[in-house]
Amino acid sequence: MGPAGWVDGAEKFPAAVNTGVGAGTLSGVTFEEYVAARGPALVRFAALLTGDQHRAEDLVQDALTKAYLRWGHIRRGDDPDVYLRRLVLNASRSWWRRLRNREVVDIVDVDEPRLIFVNGDASAALDTGAAERDALWRLIRALPEQQRAVVVLRYYEDLDDTTIARILDCSAVTVRTHAMRALHRLRAAYQEATTS
């Protein structure tokens, strides 16, 4: 069993789903098989976007409900993973809009991110402690939603700019611009926090 009761069925799933994004069509795959194999990754993606594990599970459940109604069409599409991630991303955006002035989200306990600041180099990995990790996620959570999505997709989900562009429905140049601006904001906020 994976997080939130998800069954890890990836080992018995076709290679197309095991490879994740960019896998292509899944014409012979049932909805249940897809959810068993990719559900945990979708929940993790949503948790990184929202900072709330329970909210992430709810958003993924809503996205999967929509996907179930269109599964025949989705599995024959170019890339079902991109479609499902976009559903989750859109659900997350809606949630953030509703939340904006109502409450503060607790930090979700997710795997440690593999990015941030080593002498200003955002591509270098840094082993961070729990307090630094929480501080990092607070900074990421404060980013505008497009920048936050790019940071999560690029540095945590390890997706290329072209795939991120397909998920966000924008150009690869826009993805790189959002990444550059996000890293600039994160560096500035990090330096301000460490010098104060």
Q: What is the pLDDT along the chain (196 residues), one digit of tens a residue?
A: 344 444 344 433 444 444 344 445 566 788 999 999 999 999 999 988 888 899 999 999 999 999 999 998 888 877 888 999 999 999 888 877 776 645 444 444 455 444 444 444 444 444 446 677 777 888 888 899 899 999 999 988 889 999 999 999 999 999 999 999 999 999 898 888 778 6
State the residue range of the domain holding 44. Answer: 8-107
**Last residue of some domain: 84, 107, 130?**
107
**Last residue of some domain: 107, 132, 159?**
107
| 91 lies in the same domain as 15 | yes
Q: Could you identify the residue written with the tokens 């799933």?
A: 13
Q: SS3 string of 117-146?
A: CECCECCCCCCCCHHHHHHHHHHHHCCCHH
| 49 lies in the same domain as 90 | yes
| 138 lies in the same domain as 85 | no
User: CA quadruple 139, 21, 81, 11: dihedral positive or negative?
Assistant: negative
User: pTM for the whole thing?
Assistant: 0.61
Is 92 inside any structural domain?
yes
| 93 lies in the same domain as 171 | no
**Last residue of some domain: 107, 139, 160?**
107
154-192, pLDDT tens digit by residue? 988 889 999 999 999 999 999 999 999 999 999 898 888
Cβ contacts of residue 45 below 8 Å, gap of 6+?
56, 85, 88, 152, 157
